Amino acid sequence: MAERPLSPHLSIWKWGPHMLTSILHRVSGDGLATVGLAVFLWWLGALASGPEAYDTFVSVMGSPIGLIVLVGLSWAFFNHLSSGIRHFVLDIGAGYELEVNKTFSIVSVASGIVLTVVFWAMVLLV
């Protein structure tokens, strides 16, 4: 039987910002789909169940752990949005040059963080 060529292993690839952006895009999408859906359904159930259930939801989401979950969800949203815009630009055929791709990848990750900080600054300070 002839030897079939193997796909390159991760140890062969040179890690770059585009790989980090791709991985974070997948992680943030999965987080939004699982954790975001769970929090949303809990909120709807608490809203429909009455004041006691809603007060429990508000107290848990207002606790330090709840705030960490909400900040994480907002980061996942903004990161996924930024990375999705990057993917859209790539889908229309632009941004494939190596330096442009690296720069856009870094901007995508950084903008997710900056937008999260700005969002929570507005929520907490206004």
Domains of the chain by start residue, with CATH: 18-125 (1.20.1300.10)
77 versus 12: the higher-pLDDT residue is 77
Residue where the block lists tokens 């992680």: 27
Q: Is 80 annotated as a binding residue?
A: yes
118 touches 74 (CB < 8 A): no
CA distances from 20 to 2, 49, 74, 81 (A): 36, 42, 19, 15
31 touches 72 (CB < 8 A): yes
Q: Give the pLDDT score at 73.
A: 98
Mean pLDDT of 3-15: 72
- Taking only the tens place, the pLDDT of each residue in 14-37 is 788 999 999 999 999 999 999 999
Q: Give the pLDDT score at 5.
A: 67
Mean pLDDT of 68-81: 98
- Taking only the tens place, the pLDDT of each residue in 33-63 is 999 999 999 999 999 999 999 999 999 999 9
Q: What is the SS3 string spanning the chain?
A: CCCCCCCCCCCCCCCCHHHHHHHHHHHHHHHHHHHHHHHHHHHHHHHHHCHHHHHHHHHHHHCHHHHHHHHHHHHHHHHHHHHHHHHHHHHCCCCCCHHHHHHHHHHHHHHHHHHHHHHHHHHHHC
Termini Cα distance of the chain: 70
Mean pLDDT of 63-70: 97
